[in-house]
Amino acid sequence: MSSPTNTNQKVYGYTDRLSARPGEQLTLHVSCEAADSYAASVVQLHHGFDGSAGPGFQETVLTTRVDGTYPGQHYECRPGSFVEVNDPDRVLTDPVGFEVRAAIFPTLPRDDRSGTLGAYRISHSSVAFHGEHQTVLGTWDAATSTGWALTLEDGRPTFVWSESGRSRTVQLDTALTAHHWYELLLQVPAGDGEVTLTCNPLKHAMDLVAPAAARLTPESAGVRTEGRLKASDMPFRIGALAARSDSRLVATSAFNGKIGGVQIQKRVSDGLESVARWHFGRSERPDGLLLSEVVDDSPNGLDGRCVNGPVRGVTGPTFQGLVEDFRVAPDEYDAIHFHDDDIADADWPVALTFDVPEDLASGVYAFRLTADGRDHHVPFFVGPGQRARDVAVLFPTGTYLAYANDRIAFEADSMEMLLGHTPIVHSGDLDLQDHPEFGRSCYEIHNDGSGVIFSTARRPLITMQPRYRASFMSEGPWGLPADLCIAHWLDEAGCEFDALTDETLDIEGYDLISRYRVIITGSHPEYMTRAELDALAEFTAAGGRLMYLGGNGFYATTSYDPENRHVVEVRRADGGTRPHQSPFAERRHTTSGESAGLWRNKGKAPERLVGVGMSAQGFDRCTHYQRLEDSFDARAAFIFEGIGATELLGDFGIIGGGAAGSEIDLYNPSLGTPPDTLVLATSGPLSDNYLLVAEELYEQLPGLGGTEQPSVRSDVVYAALDGGGGFFSVGSIAWTGSLSHNEYENNIARLTTNVLRRFRDAEPLK
């Protein structure tokens, strides 16, 4: 796919994390394109969507020490994951006498993908190679033709080294076949002699006869060496090489596929001694999690560190097909899956630091960067300070990251059928098409066809721009811009609130929210951790009130890297509505040990927490609600004060034209909706673009669309719980887009404000 050229954007940035408290410090990282300078300021965000139907874009400029003009500098954003080995004594610099073994499972050995696997490709050009090249391991420096490396060149195993001032290679004739395990054996003589490279197809428990059936046979090649190797200054890496860019070392010649069983031995007088043996399935952590650190089992202690988020907890060449937890059988998980488009940190230098003032009110803020008259916002959240408030908004930053920089409307198959309309291109989409190096969302696939499971805050997040409009929506905001509708409604209602985030709640749990009387969710709190769900359940059980103002919430298992909190992990199991799924035995989160999948399948259905759960999604149009019998129950009288008995609720709004739609939830006692829950309203007509969710299907049957299937609906529910707490749930992403209609003079805003007023009252709910 060719990328359109967008010359509008001149400056991009990101922060080291998405939230900070007063008194803490944030770092801002900035790169300019064809701009000599940029202006920076701090703004408070009030409303994002800038369409004429709503309040428009609103921000307040603050006076801070950040204010000023800064010199512009362009920094490359280079994806590609790898392991970098700590080798202070330069043990791995000279391969003379080495015997190197590595098992590899290439997933894209010759870049022979069909166009459906990926719409863009990151280029990792290197002048010392010819054609498509990927690195298994080594220190080769392409700029100086020094060092050595074991690579694939156009799919063919290759050893390259520097000898007597020139580069030399030994290469096998046959290109490797994708999705097969091979063992590469490199033998370098201790003096004059022959360098040999051998490739052996591997049989394993899951693939006993495939190598023979595919005519995969061993192959070997050799070439005589006489000179001395010239070492490079580059670090030893597995999965990529190092290249210099604006004084940094970035990834180049990145590998696509799995690498495991890596060991290096050296010939000595009485045989072979171990130089390094990296075990990718073993962890030295007490919890057994596989994070960034890579263990070397040799006496040399050449431990490594994963960079840019390669996937661990994947099956290796000795996998037996019986165990699905990497902690139980680490030897069977001695592998890492690398991708040339992985990114965990853009690694731009710090442009400026911001000390969050002690007296800065909690809320949603942004660094506003301006270059050549164009603005770029870098949002962040300021958490609670010392001043006590009784209301908090839980901004679903886990969902923001899962969707971050998604291009699914352009790159996924059959998107027009899913959406019910042609995707609408906005300026942010052009930025994403122009900058594939900013990385993918967890809704997409890598260049090699495997699903993306990691997302990070340390890169420009185009989809978190306050004015951003998702191309898959027929109209209206999505993500943070949709949740700014809640912030603006609270401003208009005169209700001060604290801004909380998913990652903060995951760390601090119930202690973070115990001080509040009311917690309000964002419009789409889909990706939450176990710790968050437990904290919210404890909150309502202890008398707290939860207002779920969204749809498809509390849905999928999510984890944060405990050592790199800016990274979120989402693996997909074989159930539920999903964009892709992980293979069997690779569905265990390496950052938490959680098994992937829907919370409902692990005893934590959202119905148990908020009374409703995911029923359908559709992106053509939204609809209204109509009151049900329970809405006239005396217990719900406060909710409908000032609202007529026959009024249609929310037949308006900036998201699809109604309050009910996009992604919706229904009341479902069979999944744990509390027995005294009142079903106050249900959605009006929905189109057949809304289909019953996959987790409710056991057979493929007709009649699953919105015009025929009674379960394709959104329900508004309310329940008072023992202890004086309770919940109010709207079961619709589109709800927030109806709040501002007619300058907040409408029944959705009135109803929601009625609930907020009563929930803030200390009197126990009944």
How far apart CA 352 and CA 15 sit, in angstroms, is 10
Tokens coding 716: 């508004």
Residue 192, domain extent: 82-338
Residue 697 located in a structural domain:
no
Contacts of 572 (CB under 8 A, 6+ apart): 451, 453, 556, 578, 579, 580, 581, 582, 587, 596, 597
228 to each of 142, 186, 188, 321, 426, how far by Cα in Å? 18, 17, 12, 45, 57
Beta strands in 424-467 (DSSP E): 454-456
What pLDDT, on a 0 to 100 scale, did the predictor assign at position 169?
94
Tokens coding 730: 């709207």
Examine the domain organization and report whether 140 and 182 are in the same domain: yes
How far apart CA 208 and CA 196 sit, in angstroms, is 27
What pLDDT, on a 0 to 100 scale, did the predictor assign at position 112?
54
How far apart CA 661 and CA 663 sit, in angstroms, is 6
Decide if 407 contacts 447 (C-beta within 8 A). no
Examine the domain organization and report whether 230 and 196 are in the same domain: yes
Examine the domain organization and report whether 264 and 376 are in the same domain: no
How far apart CA 668 and CA 464 sit, in angstroms, is 33
How far apart CA 389 and CA 451 sit, in angstroms, is 41
Closest by Cα among 357, 392, 358, 589 to 501: 392
Residue 258 located in a structural domain:
yes
What pLDDT, on a 0 to 100 scale, did the predictor assign at position 136?
98
What pLDDT, on a 0 to 100 scale, did the predictor assign at position 207?
67
Examine the domain organization and report whether 150 and 60 are in the same domain: no
Contacts of 595 (CB under 8 A, 6+ apart): 324, 557, 573, 587, 588, 589, 602
Examine the domain organization and report whether 322 and 257 are in the same domain: yes
Residue 121 located in a structural domain:
yes
What residues does 378 pair with on adjacent strands?
Answer: 367
What pLDDT, on a 0 to 100 scale, did the predictor assign at position 665?
98
Examine the domain organization and report whether 31 and 173 are in the same domain: no
- Ranges of residues in the chain whose predicted pLDDT is under 50: 1-6, 113-131
How far apart CA 728 and CA 547 sit, in angstroms, is 5
Q: Which amino acid is at 514?
A: S
Residue 232 located in a structural domain:
yes
Give per-residue pLDDT as tens, 669-709.
Answer: 999 999 999 999 999 999 999 999 999 887 777 888 888 89
Examine the domain organization and report whether 102 and 242 are in the same domain: yes
How many folded domains does the chain comprise? 2
Provide the angle, in degrees to the nearest 10, between the axes of the packed helices 480-492 and 747-760. 70
Residue 285 located in a structural domain:
yes
Sole residue written with tokens 């050595």: 148
Q: Which amino acid is at 135?
A: T
Examine the domain organization and report whether 334 and 358 are in the same domain: no
Closest by Cα among 548, 520, 519 to 716: 548
How far apart CA 442 and CA 576 sit, in angstroms, is 15
Instruction: Tell me which H or E stretch contains 305.
Output: strand 304-307
CATH number where 226 lies: 2.60.120.200
Examine the domain organization and report whether 129 and 186 are in the same domain: yes
Residue 308 located in a structural domain:
yes
Residue 642 located in a structural domain:
no
Instruction: Tell me which H or E stretch contains 750.
Output: helix 747-760
Examine the domain organization and report whether 21 and 170 are in the same domain: no
What pLDDT, on a 0 to 100 scale, did the predictor assign at position 212?
62
What pLDDT, on a 0 to 100 scale, did the predictor assign at position 130?
39
Residue 175 located in a structural domain:
yes
Cβ count within 10 A of residue 301? 11
What pLDDT, on a 0 to 100 scale, did the predictor assign at position 452?
97
CATH number where 36 lies: 2.60.40
- The DSSP secondary structure of 672-726, one letter per residue, reads T--TT-EEEEEE----TTSEE-GGG-SS--S--BTTT-TTS--EEEEEE-TTS-E
Q: What does DSSP assign to residue 230?
A: -
Examine the domain organization and report whether 97 and 190 are in the same domain: yes
Examine the domain organization and report whether 166 and 56 are in the same domain: no
Closest by Cα among 605, 476, 475 to 533: 605
User: The dihedral of CA 546, 552, 557, 559: what is its sign?
Assistant: negative
